[in-house]
Chain A
Amino acid sequence: NAGVIQTPRHKVTGKGQEATLWCEPISGHSAVFWYRQTIVQGLEFLTYFRNQAPIDDSGMPKERFSAQMPNQSHSTLKIQSTQPQDSAVYLCASSLVRGGSYEQYFGPGTRLTVL
């Protein structure tokens, strides 16, 4: 089992450009979560899919950020018109989310730097 796969590992964009981050969950896991990690804010929940359906996007900035899960094998987080304050490590996790299992397993993250 390869674990959660995130690509790219590092991405550098110029201010105003678009960034798309990819996540491949562990095979058989029904839920995908996105989090953001910064020095100042720490770890923050962004959004969550279960069986490919969006369940909770309460942590997503209302503008410029969107997430999709077009099939069970990958999810994307897209940031339009990136700003320097979007610089962070974006972490994806997957979980079985059944039978009382809450455990979330994380990928290595994508470090986004907006110049």
Chain B
Amino acid sequence: GEQVEQRPPHLSVREGDSAIIICTYTDSATAYFSWYKQEAGAGLQLLMSVLSNVDRKEEQGLTVLLNKKDKRLSLNLTAAHPGDSAVYFCAVSSSNYQLIWGSGTKLIIKP
């Protein structure tokens, strides 16, 4: 079955810098790719999602890149601010709609 690896597990960047989180997946039939943010004690907030026919999507300081050849998905946060501190998860799905999750990246934004 699908396997998703996410790295790094921990990431600390200074306020105003960029942060990049990467996920790799194994199933070439994967059709849907998403990123979620989880703040302490809270549920999962959908940040962005793309289908497999999209290579790049930008919204509100976030950029998602999809490299289907390398089976790699990345999330780039530009100009990080303290409110971005959280755990970030990638989640992917094939046509069965079941989300397969990365292990999470704990992002800390230092002042």
| A contact set with B: CB distance below 8 Å | 31, 33, 35, 42-45, 48, 55-56, 58-59, 91, 93, 95, 97, 100, 102-109
Contacts and interface: CB of A to CB of B under 8 A. Distances in A.
B103 interface: yes
A105 B96 CA distance: 17
B101 A102 contact: no
Nearest to A107: B43
Interface string B72-111: 0000000000000000010101001111110110000000
Interface of B: 31-32, 34, 36, 42-46, 49, 51, 89, 91, 93, 96-101, 103-104
Query: What is the predominant secondary structure among interface residues of chain A facing chain B?
Result: strand
B66 to A, nearest CB: 14
Contacts, number: 53
Query: What is the predominant secondary structure among interface residues of chain B facing chain A?
Result: strand
Contacts of B43: 91, 106-109
A55 B95 CA distance: 13
B99 A104 contact: yes
B88 to A, nearest CB: 12
